Chains A and B, each alone.
Chain A
Amino acid sequence: MSETAPVTPLRERAGQALQDTFLQEALRIATTKFIGLRREAFDDFPEGEALRDRARAIKEATLQHLDQHVERLVDNVERRGGHVHYATTADEARRLVLDIARRTGARVAVKSKSMATEEIHLNDALEAAGVTPVETDLGEYIIQLAHERPSHIIAPAIHKTKGQVAELFARELGRPTEPDPEVLTRIARAELREKFLVADLGISGANFGVADTGTIVLVTNEGNGRMVTSLPRVHVAVMGVEKVIPSMTDLAVFLAILAKSATGQKLSVYTSLVNGPRRGGELEGPEEFHLVLLDNGRIGQLAGPLREALSCLRCGACLNVCPVYRQIGGHAYGYTYPGPIGILLTAMLNGPGSVTELAHASSLCGACADACPVRIDIPRMLIELRRDVAERGLPPWSERLVFGAFGGLLRRPALYRLAARIGRVLQRPFVRGGTVRRLPLAFGDWTRTRDLPPIAARTFQERWTQLAREEHR
């Protein structure tokens, strides 16, 4: 099942985001901080650029033989006593997890932060099946309390100010408090401790799956991921199938750049290596371990136009630097994955029809490609998506008409010059003091907030004859 398309048009969603002063403040503070921290982290790390190239090369080489690497991962997970399941669709993935929950007899499932489980809308399915999912990442916990969805890949509650979180805790938990992050964290921690102890099921995502060793790697900052994967009797990890990497040596390359790109940390606070269920003689760890490998549109892109996006590490760096994301935040995008990479992932998961508008939610400024640790050329693929959308005839007829006419003018210089002359006549009523301050119809979308230069009384082409003469003087 694809995700449900947003009801309102993108422009309207973006407009609402722009009007939300809390959101604007939260976004400004958080993205500015992330940008600065990332820059500092790489400034202090001269080998970073070469490692980014290396990381990309590893991803490319792995995708080249993805089937073999996945097979090795499966073999090694099973050798360590884990169970591996393969889900072609989001629906299949949900059913697999629900089956495990049912067999476990789980009433409560603790979760560590996972975009893959967001992508398959797992929480709704768990609730419907009578299992209470409890998000244990602080940001995820906040938005779960608020009945919202993540608005950033690594900072799900980035859209909330600390004041809003304090209000939320007062309302939902009956714990009125000052908007002090430390106090708020302590409250969440106390609430969550109990949940860890009663949960039979722990659900996580995976940042990497190491084929050589059958290890699932989780990169977190709060330690909750470690508890989710070790305290409950059963642990399920849901992993996008493209997250497999060949070896621990490769893992070192990714770990060196992932946290720096995401939060500007040299390393995240916790890097958890999960090696399947508890074995004889071990004191902790789950009795059962399940790995759900999620396709959901990924495999189809191995030979598709969005292949490069399969290298994404989900660090969120492209969101932080994106001028559009920084203005509208994640919810306005309308799907699970926001930001520049999110548009590509949305198209991958839900088909090109889902991004008819979203493919244009970018000024193509290229900041995303610059920030991407594995140098995914996001603007290039956005243009490819636009092409796909245009060639399928999905844009509104008015747009196709405008671009058709525009292309016609550009092919015919005489017509182009004539159009300039006609434009000069038509603009007359609107020119005031050498500038156009208000235009009717669709043109008004520019002039509502910005002045427009009028078409010059004499264009450069019309001036050229005289200019050419001057050369010989």
Chain B
Amino acid sequence: MTPPARAAFMVTCLGDLFYPEVGERIVQLLRRLGVAVDFPAGQTCCGLPLFNSGYHADAATVARRTIALFESAEAVVVPSGSCAWMVKHEYPGLMTEPAYRTAAERLAGRTHELSQFLVERLGRRQFHSAVGGRLTYHDSCHLLRGLHEAESPRALLRGLAGSEFVELPGADECCGFGGSFSVRLPEVSTAILDKKLANVEATGAACVVACDAGCLMQMRGGLSRRGSRVRAVHLAEVLGDPR
């Protein structure tokens, strides 16, 4: 497959509202790599929170909107494993009308989580580190077990000039976010997070990298509350100039 010359960016709701600087970096990064970026107007959310809580009719309505918005895109880049999973894995099953079903399947095939897009579609693994220091990586559940992707983010982190990558013990264990789970059972969610953050801090890393805005919100929230020096950052924030 030839690398796409254009890609549509799906910013996601958390990315839009809380982490717009991550989106900006991604747009700049893709442009540096020779990919023109489109941003279909009128984006809201992929509908995953509705889907996971069982409100499937509403989720399907939101999904139909998203499918229509990205219908003409050659490739879609999503900076969050869970949203990418929703589009790739759940959209087709939510569509009852055959026409939408087909469109959903086409979109699923053209949608890529950021690290997968960089490594698999663009074949780029070598970047300068934008942050320096020691980095570790937290597998987001949907990217790891939903999209079966463990390697692309690690390849990018190992390929960073100017940063050292260390594995996080229990990297594949949940951070405790889980969408509405984080507020339905906040004490349990926090207990799971505490375990994760203790592991992160034990690595001596300056940053824990993740590919999911949900995990970032959870880990950042916990780190900042405990006054930790460790930062939870999105993959795009550590990828500097390509080399």
Residue numbers of A with Cβ under 8 A of B are 10-11, 14-15, 18, 323-324, 327-328, 359-367, 369-370, 383, 385-391, 399, 403-404, 406-407, 409-411, 413, 416, 420, 423, 435, 437, 442, 445-446, 448-456, 458-464, 467-468, 471
The reply to whether B65 and A411 contact each other, CB–CB distance below 8 Å, is yes
Interface window among B99-107, B112-120, B171-179? B171-179
Contacting pair B181 A453 (CB below 8 A):
no
The answer, among B13, B43, B186, for a CB contact under 8 Å with A446, is B186
Any A CB within 8 A of the CB of B62: yes
Given the known inter-chain contacts A360-B181, A403-B58, A460-B11, please indicate yes or no for A14 contacting B145, CB distance below 8 A.
Answer: no
Asked whether B185 lies within 8 Å of A11 as measured between CB atoms, the reply is yes
Residue of A nearest to B181 (CB): A363
Tell me whether B199 is interfacial, beta carbon within 8 Å.
Answer: no
Contact (Cβ within 8 A) A459 B16: yes
Q: Pick the residue among B15, B47, B65, B180 that contacts A460 (CB under 8 A).
A: B15
The interface residues of chain B lying within 8 Å CB-to-CB of A435 are 224
User: Using an 8 Å CB-CB cutoff, how does the interface string of B6-28 with A read, 1 for contact, 0 for none?
Assistant: 00000101011111110110010
Bound together, the chains give a CA A461 to CA B11 distance in angstroms of: 9
In Å, the complex CA distance between A394 and B242 comes to: 52
Residues of A within 8 A of B166 (CB): none
Q: Say which residue of A446, A450, A467 sits within 8 Å of B27 (CB atoms).
A: A467
Query: How far is it, in angstroms, between the C-alpha of A387 and the C-alpha of B57 when the chains are bound?
Result: 10
A388 with B183, Cβ < 8 A, contacts A365-B145, A411-B62, A461-B43 known: no
Q: Across the interface, do A446 and B17 meet the contact criterion of CB distance under 8 Å?
A: no
Nearest residue in B to A383 (C-beta to C-beta)? Answer: B52
For the complex, give the distance between the alpha carbons of A461 and B31 in Å.
18
With a cutoff of 8 Å between Cβ atoms, the chain A residues found around residue B186 in the complex are: 445-446, 448-449
Is B42 on the interface with A (CB-CB < 8 A)? yes
Most A-side CB within 10 Å, residue of B31, B55, B61 = B55
Residues of A within 8 A of B132 (CB): none
Q: Are B42 and A413 in contact (CB under 8 A)?
A: yes
Q: How many chain B residues touch the partner (CB < 8 A)?
A: 68
- In the complex, whether B182 has a CB less than 8 A from a CB of chain A is yes
B190 touches A450 (CB 8 A): yes
Separation in Å of the A357 CB from the closest CB of chain B? 8
If over half of A's interface residues share one DSSP class (helix, strand or loop), that class is named, otherwise mixed; here it is helix
Residue B50 at the chain A interface, CB threshold 8 Å:
yes
- Whether the Cβ atoms of B24 and A360 lie closer than 8 Å is no
Report the separation of the CA atoms of residues A323 and B41 in the bound assembly, to the nearest whole angstrom: 38
Residues in A neighbouring B56, C-beta threshold 8 A: 387, 390
List B156-184 residues whose CB lies under 8 Å from chain A.
Answer: 172-174, 176-184
Once the chains are docked, how many angstroms separate the CA of A453 from the CA of B17? 9
Assembled-state Cα–Cα distance A162/B4 (Å): 61
Q: Across the interface, do A411 and B61 meet the contact criterion of CB distance under 8 Å?
A: yes
Q: Which of A366, A391, A407, A420 lies in contact with B146, CB distance below 8 A?
A: A366
Interface residue B189 (Cβ < 8 Å from any Cβ of A): yes
B61 touches A18 (CB 8 A): no
A404 CA to B58 CA, complexed, in Å: 8
- Residues B145 and A367 in contact, CB atoms below 8 Å apart: yes
Residues A406 and B192 in contact, CB atoms below 8 Å apart: no
B174→A370 contact, CB < 8 A = no
Verify if B220 is at the interface (C-beta below 8 Å from A). yes
A365 near B178 with CB under 8 A, answer yes
User: Which residues of chain B are within 8 angstroms of A391 by Cβ–Cβ distance?
Assistant: 54
> Is there a chain A Cβ closer than 8 Å to B53's Cβ?
yes
- Interface code B214-235, partner A: CB below 8 Å = 1, 0 otherwise? 0001101110110000000000
Q: Which residue of A has the minimal Cβ distance to B223?
A: A451
From A386, A423, A454, A458, give the contact of B52 (CB < 8 A): A386
Check A403–B50 contact: CB distance below 8 A. Answer: yes
Instruction: Provide the residues of chain A in CB contact with B52, threshold 8 Å.
Output: 364, 383, 386
Q: Does B187 make an interface contact (CB < 8 A)?
A: yes
Contact A446 B145 (CB under 8 A): no
* A407-B44 contact, Cβ under 8 Å, with A453-B220, A461-B11: no
Q: Which residues of A contact B181 (CB under 8 A)?
A: 360, 362-364
Q: How far is the CA of A403 from the CA of B191 in the complex (A)?
A: 26
Distance in Å: Cβ of B68 to nearest Cβ of chain A: 12
In the assembled complex, the CB of B210 is this many whole angstroms from the nearest CB of chain A, namely: 14
Q: Cβ of B188 and Cβ of A328 under 8 Å apart?
A: yes
When distances are taken between beta carbons in the complex, the residues of chain A under 8 Å from B53 are: 360, 386, 390, 399, 403
Contacts of B43 in A (CB 8 A): 413, 461
Given contacts A364-B178, A369-B145, A461-B11, contact A445 B183 (CB under 8 A): yes
Q: Please report the C-alpha to C-alpha distance between residue A417 and residue B177 in the assembled complex, in whole angstroms.
A: 25
- Chain A residue at minimum C-beta to C-beta distance from B26: A460
A and B contact pairs by CB, cutoff 8 A, 18 listed? A10-B185, A323-B176, A365-B178, A387-B56, A403-B58, A407-B58, A410-B65, A411-B58, A411-B61, A411-B65, A413-B42, A451-B224, A452-B217, A456-B20, A460-B20, A461-B41, A462-B20, A463-B24
Alpha-carbon distance between A31 and B43 when the two chains are bound, in angstroms: 42
Contacts A327-B188, A363-B141, A410-B47: A453 and B173 contacting too (C-beta < 8 A)? Answer: no
- C-alpha gap A18/B189 in the complex (Å): 11
A234 to B116: give the CA distance in the assembly, Å: 62
Give CA–CA (A15, B189) in the complex, Å.
Answer: 11
Provide the bound-state CA to CA distance between A423 and B16, in Å: 13
- Tell me if B33 counts as interface (CB < 8 A to partner A): no
What residue in chain B is nearest A327 (Cβ atoms)? B191
**Further 20 A-B residue pairs, CB within 8 A, beyond A18-B188, A461-B16, A461-B41:** A10-B185, A360-B181, A363-B179, A364-B141, A365-B141, A366-B146, A407-B61, A410-B44, A410-B50, A411-B44, A411-B61, A411-B62, A413-B43, A416-B45, A446-B186, A449-B186, A450-B222, A453-B220, A456-B20, A459-B20
Q: Which of chain B's residues have a CB closer than 8 A to the CB of A468?
A: 39
- In the assembled complex, how far is the CB of residue B40 from the closest CB belonging to chain A, in whole angstroms? 10
| Contacting pair A388 B54 (CB below 8 A) | yes
A450 touches B183 (CB 8 A): no
In the bound complex, CA of A62 to CA of B179 (Å): 37
Looking at the assembled complex, report how far the CB atom of B63 sits from the nearest CB atom of chain A, in whole angstroms. Answer: 10
Q: A386 to chain B: which residues have CB within 8 Å?
A: 52-54
B37 / chain A contacts, CB cutoff of 8 Å:
471
Q: How far is the CA of A456 from the CA of B22 in the complex (A)?
A: 12
Q: Is the CB of A390 within 8 A of B54?
A: yes
Binary contact readout B129-145 vs A (1 if CB under 8 angstroms, 0 otherwise):
00000000000011011
B204 at the interface (CB under 8 A from A): no
Query: Nearest residue in B to A434 (C-beta to C-beta)?
Result: B224
Cβ contact of A18, chosen from B15, B58, B191, B224, cutoff 8 A: B191
